[in-house]
Amino acid sequence: MQVTETKSEGLKREFQVVLAAAELEDRLTTELAGMKDKVQLKGFRPGKVPVAHLRRVYGRSIMADVVQNAVNEANQKILEENKLKLALEPQIKMPEDKAEIEKALDAKADLAFQVALEVMPTFELQDHSDITVTKPVATVSDEEVETALKRMAEQSRSYADRPEGSAAETGDRVVIDFVGRIGGETFEGGSAEDADLDLGSNTFIPGFEDQLLGAKAGEARTVTVTFPEGYPAEHLAGKEAVFDVTVKAVKAPGEAQIDDELAKTFGLENLDALKDAVRKSLANELDAQSRRRVKKALLDALDARYAFDLPPTLVHQEFAAVWAQVEADLKSRGKTFEDEGTTEEKAQGEYRRIAERRVRLGLVLAQVGETADIKVPDEEVNQALIARLRQFPGQEREVYDFYRKNPQAMAELRAPLFEEKVVDHVLGQVKLVEEPVSKEALFADDEDEAAEAAAPASEAGASKGVTSEGVTSEGSAPSHETGAA
């Protein structure tokens, strides 16, 4: 086997591999000889099948295996001799001339093919001890706890039938049957029976609830509304619908009580226990947001420190994932780039920079993780899998089987866990300064950061499994949070 490098540009490499006809013949003969004592053919005693006959029967299929093994050996040889680490699987290009391939498969001519690679960039990890990251810290106020309790009480309040003949008012609950039609035809999801609707809750299509004000139990009404342009169901967006509605009951809300009984409806012993649980829940939300802000600041600092060539195909794949979601978001909202104050060309430039940032940070964190020998225990991956199963009630077995049979899917579960461990490791190297802030200040930058991030691309970075070893390993590339965090 002769291997010759034919191209070296940036992170792209190309090699030509030549397998001489004599080598192909030797490999084929060796394989056939190994089959002789194993194969059983009618008319021949075990171990007595002539190699020439085996060649006529199995030659082409065995030669296909010979060529595939040779390709694998060539790839391994290229990596070892040139000390390369792959960013993506090698691309193999066989000769286009079918006659040439036919001769090679018959071991009557040399087989020459091309191997194209994209390799991982090499860079030195820097000392991060001089990085300062500010950690915003907010505390839960008594007023926030009371507001949460009021909301819970309102959601848990009871409703009682109004006196016969009473007209429905804002805040009342009506029990209704309805059938919706567009162009005179019913549509999927447009009908229901015994549906509870709280007037003023704005949970139905805009205008629907207003047309039921003043309705009485037993009354039938026709409600005409227009679905919003950005309605999630595209076949309904912007269309006028007519609903035949029957009001079966009108119920008045009871008083929202914040007491021990409210706590018991949530499985807690008394009001004090409920208050403690609410405060803890609110504190967890603040801590999670603080973590996001710290992580964003850390990734910004790392992004500013590292500059190196990026594997073009990885950037392209990351950009494609981000851009697909951007376009889907615009379509769902019925918006254009002009509506957003930009052009498609400018937007593509911005999101390509975000894709480059994600890939760059993915590679940096992957190398940090490898250098620090950071691992994700199988137990943590299993916990993540269980959490995912809970998102699909009634389909747990199917989802479990899907993940267990798909290593790439399991890698996507492992990737964000790995990323968080690496981030914690780097945070342990930098100077972390706490800064007390209000809740409003803590969440103030959310919208700007979401715009910068272009919305998560289904854990695009993680799905690539980028590591210093190539594709999919313990050190999976960071998830979408490397783009925005």
Tell me the average pLDDT across 122-127: 93
At 253, which amino acid appears?
Answer: P
Number of Cβ within 10 Å of residue 459's Cβ equals 20
pLDDT of res. 29: 82
187 and 97 housed in the same domain:
no
Residue 129, pLDDT > 80, answer yes
| 291 and 241 in a common domain | no
Task: Name the E strands within 55-162.
Answer: 91-93, 111-118, 132-137, 159-161
Task: Assess whether pLDDT exceeds 90 at residue 385.
Answer: yes
Strands 132-137 and 431-436: parallel
Q: What are phi and psi of 457, to 5 degrees?
A: -95, 60
More confident residue, 408 or 333: 408
Contact assessment for residue 426 and residue 133, using Cβ atoms and an 8 Å cutoff: no
Of the three residues 88, 118, 148, the one that is the final residue of a domain is 118
Distance CA 301, CA 127 (A): 12
Least Cα distance to 448 among 310, 237, 278, 296 occurs for 296
On whether both 470 and 333 belong to a single domain, the answer is yes
CATH of the domain at 238: 3.10.50.40
319 plus 456 within the same structural domain: yes
Buried b (16+ CB within 10 A) or exposed e, 387-410: ebbeeeeeeeeebeeebeeeeebb
Query: What CATH code is carried by the domain that includes residue 443?
Result: 1.10.3120
Confidence band of 50 (pLDDT split at 50, 70, 90) = low
Looking at the fold, whether 243 and 323 belong to one and the same domain comes out as no
Tell whether 104 is covered by a domain.
Answer: yes
Q: Which of 204, 228, 253 represents a domain boundary (last residue)? A: 253
Statement to judge: residues 297 and 442 lie in one domain: yes
For residues 314 and 462, membership in a common domain is answered with yes
Residue 217, domain member (yes or no): yes
- The per-residue pLDDT of the chain, averaged, comes to 86
Q: Identity (one letter) of the amino acid at 276?
A: D
In this predicted structure, what is the pLDDT of residue 388?
A: 94
Q: Is residue 36 part of a domain?
A: yes
pLDDT of residue 43: 63
Q: What is the pLDDT of residue 421?
A: 97
Rg (CA), the chain: 32
Q: Which residue has the higher pLDDT, 451 or 60?
A: 60
> Are 307 and 425 in a shared domain?
yes
Looking up residue 93, the CATH number of its domain turns out to be 3.30.70.1050
Residues 180 and 97 in one domain: no
pLDDT at 198 over 50: yes
Alpha carbon distance 188, 445 (integer Å): 39
The answer on 164 and 108 residing in a single domain is no
* Residue 476, both tokens: 């999976």
372 close to 425: Cβ distance less than 8 angstroms: yes
The DSSP symbol for 138 reads -
Secondary structure in 3-state letters for 107-137: CCCCEEEEEEEEECCCCCCCCCCCCEEEEEE
Looking at residue 460, its pLDDT comes to 33
Question: If we measure between CA atoms, which residue out of 182, 285, 276 comes closest to residue 238?
Answer: 182
pLDDT at 152 over 80: yes
State the pLDDT at residue 229.
84
Whether the CB-CB separation of 461 and 478 falls below 8 Å is answered with yes
Residue 258, domain member (yes or no): no
Q: Is residue 25 part of a domain?
A: yes
Domain of residue 82: give its range: 2-118
pLDDT at 454 over 70: no
Q: Is 125 a domain residue?
A: no
Same domain, 323 and 438: yes
Same domain flag for 312 and 448: yes
Model confidence at 40, pLDDT cuts 50, 70, 90, reads low
The pLDDT tens digits of the residues spanning 207-247 come to 999 999 999 999 999 999 999 987 888 889 899 999 999 99
Q: Could you tell me if residue 138 is inside a domain?
A: no
Over the stretch 83-100, which tens digit does the pLDDT of each residue have?
A: 888 888 888 999 888 888
The continuous run of DSSP H or E covering 28 comes out as: helix 21-36
**Low-confidence winner among 92-106, 272-286, 314-328 (lowest mean pLDDT):** 92-106
Domain total of the chain: 3
Among residues 229, 253, 277, the one where a domain terminates is: 253
pLDDT at 180 over 90: yes
